[in-house]
Chain A
Amino acid sequence: MMANLFSIFEPSSSIFNFSLNWISTLLGLMFIPYLYWASPSRWSLCWSEIIFTLHKEFKALLTPYSLGSTLFFVGLFSMILYNNFLGLLPYVFTSSSHMAMTLALSLPLWVTLMLSGWINHTQHMFAHLVPQGTPSILMPFMVLIETISNIIRPGTLAVRLAANMIAGHLLLTLLGNTGPSMSSSIILSMLIFSQILLLTLESAVAIIQSYVFAVLSTLYTGEIN
């Protein structure tokens, strides 16, 4: 039973204070196809097309120094995608709606990039603080603005993902909560229809948000060289 609206996000299935809900993070592993035979099945072909397209996309954004990191970003994308998408299904815990998970992804990534960038390519990083084509008068302010934008990057990455997921789920829950108290079937069908629309939107948002997360991480990686 729902204590409040936000209790859907609470990892409440626990055993001795050890939350079991977070195991849904690994649920995506069940959906990734494995190849036993030499010729691919439909789903494995589909999946390899998707990740190959992503690899080409990320390769275009990365410098030649860090091309191998497409492996990491494609993996990041697929993990967040499965978490977002499977969270839409009923009774599946959306782990990417918690700042604990999203911040745990974005903060170490950002700290790594900043450390490696500032220690190894200090001159380059300083140069990046002033974008190309700024008028000379604005340069001090640009440095300030760029520094601030740099600092809030982990926050934005994490909060963007979490907030989108929470918003979507909240809307779905609100719509669904009116269901049991529904009297006429016409309004019920309207409810189902609006839920379908919302679910379509939410699936798109799930995919887009994971893509955005991965692409922005790629861009930040490409920037430090």
Chain B
Amino acid sequence: MKKSMKNELKIEGESYKTQQTAIHKRKKRRPSRVHSVQSPAILLIGMLSRLAARTVQEVRPLVLVRPTSTSAVQRAEQRDEANFPRPVRPVEPGKVRLGFVPEEWFQFLYPKTGVTGPYVLGLGLTTFLCSKEIYVMEHEYYTGISILLMVVYAVKKFGPVIGQTLDKKIEDIEQSWRDYREGSIIQVKESMEKEKEAQLSAKGQDMLFDAKRENVALQLEAAYRERLARVHSEVKKRLDYQLEVANVKTRLQQKHMVDWIVKNVKGSITPAQEAATLKQCMADLKALAPKA
């Protein structure tokens, strides 16, 4: 709703800031207002009409408007970069001449007094102070000269070495930050690669599962067939047994029957019959003998 409001106001020619300020002012004055559920269009029209009446009285220039409720992010976006530039870290120390006089002073005096101006100023000022005894050269002065000589010698001799050592240490510190940052980037990339590999191997795992499943199915099939064969052989054994039993039974019955018949026949042969049969057989044989 805010965006539509903003667009409306842009068309109307008012700034969003004045709108917000006015709204917040209005909100501040009436804190116990009850928000009823209305359509945004009605609310908008109502607000605009009230504001139109109000802004006629409270005309304020855009420059003095201060947003009353913004967060740090909004403040950063609203920052005037031209008039309030962000501070930049200076890498080199400020330029100086003669070791302690800033270059900017020389540039400041250049238009009026030229190149030699600041030097003339310094020389003349010191001469004036010394000659008029405003600055008295007593014991502190000689201490000052000694210190100046010592400091100049130390800076010329040890300055570059110490400066380079310290610069190297600063560079090491900054390098450690960069290394940490790059190291974590490399680590994240490596873990990305490992993740991809893990995904691939997970896919391979799928195939492995399928193969295992197939294997298990084969094993199950083999076991089933083996059991089927066993059942078949068991059933056949039982049937064979029954068959054998039946055969044996038949054979025994037959044998018993034959034996019984023979026994009965043998028993039924009387001795007269036997003698008669024997005689007959001998007669037959005698009859046959001349033929052979």
Contact = CB atoms under 8 A, between A and B. Distances in A.
B146 A2 contact: no
16 contacts: A2-B139, A39-B170, A39-B174, A40-B173, A42-B170, A45-B170, A46-B166, A88-B143, A89-B144, A90-B141, A90-B143, A90-B147, A172-B143, A173-B139, A179-B137, A200-B150
B99 to A, nearest CB: 16
B145 interface: yes
A37 B150 contact: no
Contacts of B139: 2, 8, 172-173, 175-177, 179
B102 to A, nearest CB: 17
Interface residues of B, number: 22
A207 interface: no
A89 B146 CA distance: 10
B140 interface: yes
Interface stretch (A52-60, A113-121, A152-160, A191-199): A191-199
A202 B60 CA distance: 66
A180 B137 contact: yes
Contacts of B169: 45, 49
Interface of B: 87, 89, 137-147, 149-150, 163, 166-167, 169-170, 173-174
A200 B169 CA distance: 28
A54 to B, nearest CB: 18
Contacts of A176: 138-143
Q: Which 10 A-B pairs have the closest CB atoms?
A: A176-B139, A195-B146, A90-B140, A90-B144, A179-B142, A176-B142, A42-B166, A177-B139, A37-B89, A196-B146
Interface in A39-84: 39-42, 45-46, 49
Given A89-B147, A90-B144, A176-B142, 17 more contacts: A36-B87, A40-B170, A42-B170, A45-B170, A88-B147, A172-B143, A176-B138, A176-B139, A176-B141, A177-B138, A180-B137, A191-B142, A195-B142, A195-B143, A196-B149, A199-B146, A199-B150
Contacts of B137: 179-180
A178 to B, nearest CB: 8
A46 B143 CA distance: 27
Interface of A: 2, 8, 36-37, 39-42, 45-46, 49, 88-91, 172-173, 175-177, 179-180, 191-192, 195-196, 199-200
A141 to B, nearest CB: 48
Nearest to A39: B174
A175 B143 CA distance: 9
B163 A42 contact: yes
Nearest to B137: A180
B56 to A, nearest CB: 48
B69 to A, nearest CB: 29
B146 A192 contact: yes
A202 to B, nearest CB: 10
A42 B149 CA distance: 23
Nearest to B138: A180
Contacts of A199: 143, 146-147, 150
A164 to B, nearest CB: 17
A91 B140 contact: yes
Nearest to B148: A90
A101 to B, nearest CB: 21
Contacts of A179: 137-139, 141-142
Contacts of A191: 142
Contacts of A8: 139
A191 B139 CA distance: 11
Contacts of A37: 89
Contacts of B143: 88, 90, 172, 176, 195, 199
A39 B178 CA distance: 12
